[in-house]
């Protein structure tokens, strides 16, 4: 956004910058039209400053550098802090939770975050066996609980014939 500049009664239209020579060997001072600048203190890093449309502004944006964090719950989130980030760092699942993501902890037929369930991990919620229906000394899992059988005899009936079998 250029401005009209008046020097020695001469108007120069649409001047985007003015360069003024300094004392010999000191170089040149360059002044830019900053009236269209929209930066605010929070847009400029702490420790830095700028001249904008309203003049000098000291920065207040924190420099967070590399930002890292972890998530430890399925519904967990990581809040990204306000400020500048250098593009390094990472947010990942916590190492404690990563250690739990093994096939032995996942039901067969299910894959969680690329880890497939183990074939021996099954849903036993619909099992109906009880200790008295499992042969003595054998074990089974019923509704997630290990059950040791206690069955030692079986009674078989057909019509008027009844027979008792002993299991050894």
Model pLDDT for residues 111-162, shown as the tens digit of each residue: 999 999 998 888 888 888 889 889 999 998 888 888 999 998 888 888 777 7
Task: Name the residue ranges covered by the structural domains of the chain.
Answer: 3-58, 69-106, 131-166
| DSSP structure class, residue 25 | T
Q: Which of 140, 136, 129 is nearest to 153 (CA)?
A: 136
pTM summary value: 0.51
pLDDT of 86 higher than 70: yes
Residue 53, phi-psi category: left (phi > 0), alpha (psi -120 to 50), beta (remainder): alpha
Q: Would you state the structure tokens that stand for residue 118, as one six-digit string? A: 């183990």
Per the CB < 8 A criterion, the answer to whether 60 and 69 are in contact is no
* Distant-in-sequence, close-in-space partners of 156: CB < 8 Å, separation ≥ 6: 162, 163, 164, 165
**Nearest alpha-carbon partner for 152 in 141, 64, 26, 138:** 138
At 52, the pLDDT band (50, 70, 90 cuts) reads confident
- What tokens does 137 get? 């000394």
């Amino acid at each position: 956004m250029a401005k009209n500049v008046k020097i020695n009664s001469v108007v120069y239209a649409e001047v985007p910058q003015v360069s003024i020579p300094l004392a010999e060997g000191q170089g040149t001072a360059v002044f830019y039209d900053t009236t269209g600048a929209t930066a605010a203190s929070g847009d400029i890093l702490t420790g830095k400053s700028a001249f904008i449309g309203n003049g000098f502004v000291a920065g207040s944006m924190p420099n967070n550098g590399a930002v890292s964090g972890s998530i430890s719950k399925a519904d967990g989130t990581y809040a990204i802090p306000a400020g500048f980030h250098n593009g390094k760092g990472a947010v990942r699942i916590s190492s404690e939770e990563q250690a739990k993501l093994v096939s032995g902890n996942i039901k067969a037929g299910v894959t969680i975050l690329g880890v497939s369930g183990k074939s021996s991990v099954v849903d036993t919620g619909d099992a109906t066996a009880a200790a008295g229906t499992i042969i003595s000394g054998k074990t089974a899992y019923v509704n997630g609980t290990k059950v040791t059988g206690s069955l030692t005899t079986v009674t078989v009936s057909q019509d008027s014939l009844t027979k008792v079998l002993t299991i050894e």
